[in-house]
């Protein structure tokens, strides 16, 4: 399948290793110094660009957490409309450290993942100049993004903005009882800069 220029750009902008050191240094009480890895995965290659993401505190780089899959897709009826579908792993330990060990990504199978139906994001974009876009997401559903893992229910808000220079993430955990944020981007987006590019790993 031939992908649109905007879908390819979205995948290229997201594929990389990211760091938020200036923000964490300026506001250490609210923003943990994080390293975020987003790498291409050879799944759904017939119609999508799929990315694996995980992150870690810089003080515990050997303990990454929040592994997930982002499936970047076009609307079949209108390639101008993009969306991101989220998948969780049934066994988190099986993909631990895959952000820094891409060989593990080659072994991921469809049986290891589970689609999260209320966690799909619509993607709006502006074409700022010849080859640069500004992408911004919004929830596709009014229903909260929720899932069950190991017998526990979790609820999260997902969202991001990305340009060639910056990745802003709005992800935060939600208390189902109060609807208030309990972790993550509580005072605004995490502000990441790409420090290593993985765009050449894209299967396009």
For residue 87, give the CATH number of its domain. Answer: 2.40.128.590
The reported pLDDT for the residue numbered 127 is: 87
User: What stretches in the chain show pLDDT beneath 50?
Assistant: none
pLDDT at residue 79 in the model: 64
Model pLDDT, residue 76: 75
pLDDT at residue 149, rounded to an integer: 77
| Other Cβ atoms within 10 Å of 128 Cβ, number | 11
Residues contacting residue 4 through CB under 8 Å, at least 6 positions apart: 74, 79, 80
**Residues 13-56: tens digit of each pLDDT:** 999 999 999 999 999 999 999 999 999 999 999 999 999 999 99
Q: Which of 159, 199, 166, 200 is nearest to 11 (CA)?
A: 199
91: tokens are 């066994």
Question: For position 1, what pLDDT does the model report?
Answer: 67
Alpha carbons 139 and 152: distance in angstroms, whole number = 23
Q: How far apart are CA 58 and CA 3, in angstroms?
A: 35
By residue range, what is the domain housing residue 99? 5-201
Q: How many domains does the chain have?
A: 1
Three-point CA angle 69, 71, 77, nearest 5°:
165
Q: What is the pLDDT of residue 75?
A: 82
Q: What is the pTM of this model?
A: 0.94
pLDDT of amino acid 69: 97
């Amino acid at each position: 399948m031939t992908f649109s220029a905007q879908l390819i750009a979205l995948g290229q902008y997201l594929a990389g290793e990211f760091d938020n050191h200036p923000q964490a240094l300026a506001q250490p009480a609210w923003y943990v110094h994080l390293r975020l890895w987003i790498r291409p995965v050879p799944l759904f290659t017939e119609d999508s660009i799929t990315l694996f993401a995980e992150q870690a505190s810089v003080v515990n780089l050997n303990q990454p957490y929040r592994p997930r899959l982002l499936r970047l897709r076009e609307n079949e009826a209108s390639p101008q409309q993009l969306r991101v579908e989220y998948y969780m792993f049934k066994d988190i330990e099986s993909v631990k450290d895959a952000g820094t060990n891409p060989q593990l990504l080659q072994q991921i199978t469809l049986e290891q993942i589970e689609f999260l139906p209320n966690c799909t994001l619509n993607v709006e974009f502006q074409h700022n100049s010849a080859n640069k876009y500004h992408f911004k997401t919004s929830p596709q559903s009014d229903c909260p993004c929720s899932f069950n893992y190991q017998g526990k229910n979790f609820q999260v808000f997902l969202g991001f903005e990305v340009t060639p220079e910056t990745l802003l993430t709005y992800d935060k955990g939600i208390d189902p009882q109060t609807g208030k944020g309990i972790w993550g981007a509580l005072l605004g987006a995490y502000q990441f800069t790409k420090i290593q590019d993985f765009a050449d790993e894209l299967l396009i």
